[in-house]
Amino acid sequence: MATIQDVARNAGVSVATVSRVLNNQNVVAKETAIKVEKAINELNYEPSVLGRNLRTSESRLILVLIPSIANPFYTEIIKGIEDTAIEQDYNILLCETGSNPKREAIYINLVRNRLADGVISMDPAVDKVRLTELAKKYPVVQCSEYDKVGTISYVTIDSELAAYQAVRYLIQIGHKKIGLINSDNKYLYARDRYEGYIKALNEFDLPINTDWIYNVESVRFQDGQQAMRGLLNQPDRPTAIFADSDVLAIGALKEINSNGLNVPKDIALVGFDNIDFSNMTYPTLTTISQPMYKMGSASANMIIHKIKGKKVGNIILDHELIIREST
């Protein structure tokens, strides 16, 4: 394997000159640079990325924290982050935290130890104090979930408005008994979507029946099934359900079908996220569409700008109500 010294000898220049050419420095004469590039090609020389990173104090690596890789909501966001990062000569390291503080601390230490240049956090259960302390010295961006009273830049949508519009739509097509399958209230997005649900009911003077509100501890298909089972067992059950994620909505749909009921004739159903599976169910799922790829791309641009020392603000992207067969 050729070394940088071999390239220097072949081109008749110093090692420092070869290094300047490799690092795209314009201080090398064009004729000399051509000789160096020719030697690199002839010797099939591959520069050491580790060596370059040590010289520049950059890893060109961005950490992406997610609670679970199994949740399809994150797929398009990750794709947006990765595509945008690669275009700008950065790589990403996907870090599944499992919402475990110890695992989270291990990943965050990679940034403190200069093994990564910055962090994009999508974990709603992230330790906000630890993340805020990290952000005082290192580049950090939050995507989707964020801290309303914090100082960390974020990319998100208006979850309260989106939930309000989803529930208002159910009311406008004739429903007065609307249930809610919601995530744990310790998460900001769950609280915001609950507030949107309540706002729509209040606007139309509809009663808020706590028996029709079901909170789940995790966002899994089976959690949606279990929540729907509880709602179906109500003596006065709702005629429509708003679920704060498509995964929960699809689980609810399975339970409704298993009980021999028809969607939307017996119970209408609205989800949230517009994951790929939402258009593959029977019937297809009405849902709030989040611009997931764009969220990922925007957060990648933001973290790279921060790494380069640029100031960035917050971004709230548009959402859309996608009406399909389940309503």
Tell me the per-residue pLDDT of 63-76, one tens digit each, with 9 for 90 and over: 999 998 888 999 99
Decide if 58-158+292-318 and 159-289 have a common fold: yes
Share of the chain above pLDDT 70, in %: 95
Position 57 pLDDT exceeds 90: no
Distances (CA, A) of 26 to 9, 30, 55: 21, 9, 17
Least confident of 85-94, 108-117, 254-263: 108-117
The hierarchical CATH code for the domain 4-47 is 1.10.260.40
Checking if the pLDDT of 161 tops 70, the result is yes
SS3 13: coil
Task: Tell me which residue of 321, 4, 290 sits closest to 156, measured CA to CA.
Answer: 290
Report d(CA 254, CA 265) in Å as an integer.
Answer: 15
Helix (H) or strand (E) holding 41: helix 30-43
More confident call, 112 vs 121: 121
Query: Ramachandran region of residue 268, left (φ > 0), alpha (ψ -120 to 50) or beta?
Result: beta
pLDDT score of 187 more than 70: yes
The number of beta carbons lying within 10 Å of the beta carbon of residue 190 is: 22
Question: Is the confidence at residue 314, as pLDDT, over 90?
Answer: yes
Q: Work out the mean pLDDT of the chain and round it to a whole number.
A: 91
What's the half-sphere exposure (Cβ side, CA atoms, 13 Å) at 29? 4
The model's pLDDT over 263-306, given as tens digits with 9 standing for 90+, comes to: 999 999 999 999 999 999 999 999 999 999 999 999 999 999 99
Confidence of residue 199 (pLDDT cuts 50, 70, 90): very high
Q: Where are the domains of the chain?
A: 4-47, 58-158+292-318, 159-289
Q: Is the model's pLDDT at 27 over the cut of 80?
A: no
- Determine the pLDDT at residue 259: 95
148-152, 190-194, 215-219, 252-256: least confidently modelled range:
148-152
Q: What is the pLDDT of residue 75?
A: 93
Nearest CA among 192, 236, 241, 190 for reference residue 217: 190
Return the half-sphere exposure (C-beta side, CA atoms, 13 A cut-off) of residue 87: 10
pTM, two decimals, is: 0.82
What type of residue is 323?
I
Distances in Å between the alpha carbon of 275 and those of 53, 62, 235?
A: 37, 25, 32
Name the E strands within 218-319: 240-243, 268-273, 286-289, 315-317
Q: Can you give the three-state secondary structure of 118-182, one letter per residue? A: EEEECCCCCCHHHHHHHHCCCCEEEECCCCCCCCCEEEEECHHHHHHHHHHHHHHCCCCCEEEEE
Question: Which of 249, 247, 187 lies closest to 219 in space, CA to CA?
Answer: 247
Quick one: pLDDT band at residue 54, thresholds 50, 70, 90? very low
Compute φ and ψ for 233, nearest 5 degrees. -80, -5
Protein fold of 159-289: Rossmann fold (3.40.50)
User: Would you say 296 and 94 are in contact if contact means Cβ atoms under 8 Å apart?
Assistant: no
Mean pLDDT, rounded, for 212-220: 93
Cβ atoms of 244 and 191 within 8 Å: the answer is no
DSSP per position, 58-123: ---EEEEEES-TT-THHHHHHHHHHHHHHHTT-EEEEEE-TT-HHHHHHHHHHHHTTSSSEEEE--
Residue 325, pLDDT above cutoff 50 = yes
What CATH architecture applies to the domain 58-158+292-318?
Answer: 3-Layer(aba) Sandwich (3.40)
320 strand-pairing partners: 289
